[in-house]
Chain A
Amino acid sequence: MSEPTFTKSSAEDIRSLYAAVFEKQWPSWLAGILIALLAILIFLWNVPWGIAGGYRNWGDWMLYAMQLRGARPEQVPWLQSLSVTNFGLFAGALASALLSRQFRFRGAPLFEYGKGAIGGILMGTGAVLASGCNVGGFYTAVGIFSIGGYTMMVGLGVGAYIGLRYLLWEMEHLPQQSGGTTPAKTATGTDWFRKKQYLGGGILLLGVIAFYLYAAYGQAQIGGLLFFGLLIGVVMHRSRFCFVRAFREPFMTGDAGMVRAVAISLILYGVGSAVIKWSWMQPPEMGVFHPFWIGSLLGGLIFGIGMLLAGGCASSTLWRVGEGHAKLMITLVTFALSNSTVNQWMAHSGIKEMLGSGFFLPQLISWQATLPVFLAIITAWVLWAAWNEKSEKFVIF
């Protein structure tokens, strides 16, 4: 055997690292841990993580551009914090899809586009009522001890159940539109594969350069969000991390894997945010505005139905768009437009006051009681899902 040179050995190691990162799918529990860490960093760096607020900003601008909105939106998309995180998440997922050779423009049957559009409208509406999507209204809300997060969780579960019931009904009663309508394009020239990979690497590099540019112009905080979003995008795409699954799968296949992953993530994030809040690194009541209980419950319900129709929530819509799914591109647009429209309308209608207001759990029952209650609820969710995985008591199909 010949003596391995340093370059040879390094090239081999880099190749196997590349294969581990961009060829095999990451386990969802690992992604859960990484997402919690990134969410904690975002909280420390700026404000608690959310997604729908960024969509709203995009929707505001779309409506403004179509002259359906009088006032110019206050913030430009490249300086609005949640919008910038979303850009990062999308770019990260796109880069990851290119690097793992999974990017392709993916058309869908016409009927699916319709479902994507309606799903987006429902999610946009639900996210206004609940003051957040599956990330800001559920994940972050539970993690930062806003009680509305738990009611949205219940709403999402019920909504997912109703949405799945609809999908089953649709399979039985509506003419099947699937199949053959959009044959995948024949791959042209094998060289394209290589180019895609370099393009993916280039996007990641551009993300880092953009962060330095933001910093150079005194906007390091916003630039950092782009960077964190980029990492979340890579993690979510490589693991196919999907909040929809956590709510749908217990009723659909019984699989509890994503429930476990989201629960691990939530527990880590909750502990992290307790450290941040209890120690006053950030103000304890920061981000606690989720309307308890009507807004978050109703919003979760509507959002839950929408995410089943679309096949993606706020976060997984973004990374699926990065992978090239045309259906989810439509969802993204209708989500943004409906969120912006409903939000404007709600602001004038006075309904917002009737939906409830934000309650901070530690303020109601003390920090000492909050942590065990939080852990108990999440643990109960996992135990229920694990039991259901074996018994299939709640599987409806």
Chain B
Amino acid sequence: METETIQSDETLDLRGLSCPMPLLKTKKALKGLKPGQILEVWGSDPGSKNDIPDFCKKGGNDLLDLLDAPEGYTRYFIKKG
């Protein structure tokens, strides 16, 4: 799937937060979604680049894409499994 065409159902802006808050809030937001819905997370903590993919793999969610924005944060597209 092309990242530009991903329609996220919810966007979570976690820029400025550091470990463990990004992962906690992502987990919480995913709980509120139905399977198949897509969560877009904006994060700026470098640790999230490994934490979020690992968490998705473990929790059965699908990380569709991860995109570095030029402003220095990363956009994660997670499809709830």
Which residues 165-202 of A sit at the B interface, judged by CB distance below 8 A? 167-168, 171, 178-187
Q: Are B47 and A252 in contact (CB under 8 A)?
A: no
B73: shortest Cβ distance to chain A, in Å?
Answer: 5
B15: contacting residue among A25, A182, A320, CB under 8 A: A182
B66 at the A interface (CB under 8 A): no
User: Are B20 and A325 in contact, with the CB atoms below 8 A?
Assistant: no
Please give the number of chain B residues whose Cβ is less than 8 angstroms from any Cβ of chain A in the complex: 30
Given contacts A253-B27, A255-B54, A397-B27, contact A183 B21 (CB under 8 A): no
CB distance from A350 to the nearest CB of B (A): 38
Known contacts: A184-B72, A187-B72, A255-B58. The answer to whether A171 contacts B28 by CB under 8 A is yes
Residue of B nearest to A237 (CB): B46
Do residues A178 and B25 form an inter-chain contact, with CB atoms below 8 A? Answer: yes
A260 in the interface, Cβ–Cβ < 8 Å?
A: no
Q: A106-B44, A255-B54, A397-B27 are in contact. Are A112 and B21 (CB under 8 A)?
A: yes
Q: Is A104 an interface residue (CB 8 A)?
A: yes
Number of A residues, CB within 8 Å of B: 38
Instruction: Report yes or no: B72 in contact with A102, Cβ–Cβ below 8 A.
Output: no
Contacting pair B58 A253 (CB below 8 A): yes
Q: In the bound complex, do residue A178 and residue B20 qualify as a contact, i.e. CB atoms below 8 Å apart?
A: no
Q: Mark B4-29, 1 if CB is under 8 A from A, else 0.
A: 00000000111111111101110110
Given A25-B50, A253-B27, CB of A107 within 8 Å of CB of B20: no
Q: When chains A and B are docked, how far (Å) is the Cα of A78 from the Cα of B81?
A: 53
Give the dominant DSSP class at A's interface: loop
- Cβ of A327 within 8 Å of any chain B Cβ, yes or no, is yes
Query: Does chain B have a CB within 8 A of A290?
Result: no
Does A311 interact with chain B (Cβ within 8 Å)? yes
B72–A186 touching, CB < 8 Å: yes
Please tell me if the beta carbons of A311 and B16 are within 8 angstroms of each other in the complex: no
Instruction: Give Cα A242–Cα B49 distance, bound, in whole angstroms.
Output: 15
Give the docked Cα–Cα distance between A244 and B24 (Å): 15
Asked if B20 contacts A108 (CB within 8 A), the reply is no
B2 sits at the interface (CB 8 A): no
- Bound complex: CA A325 to CA B2 (Å): 33
Distance from B70 Cβ to chain A, minimum over Cβ atoms (Å): 7
B20 lies within 8 A of A167 (CB): yes
Cross-chain contact B55 with A327 (CB below 8 angstroms):
no
- Select from chain B the residue with minimum beta-carbon distance to A97: B46
| 27 pairs, A vs B, C-beta closer than 8 Å | A25-B50, A106-B18, A109-B16, A112-B16, A112-B21, A167-B24, A171-B24, A178-B13, A178-B17, A178-B21, A178-B25, A179-B13, A179-B42, A182-B15, A182-B16, A183-B71, A184-B16, A184-B71, A184-B73, A186-B70, A240-B47, A253-B23, A253-B55, A253-B58, A255-B54, A308-B20, A327-B18
Residues of A at the B interface (CB closer than 8 Å) are 25, 102, 104, 106-109, 112, 167-168, 171, 178-187, 240, 242, 244, 248, 252-255, 308, 311-312, 320, 323, 325, 327-328, 397
Q: Which residues of B contact A (CB under 8 A)?
A: 12-21, 23-25, 27-28, 42, 44-47, 49-50, 54-55, 58-59, 70-73
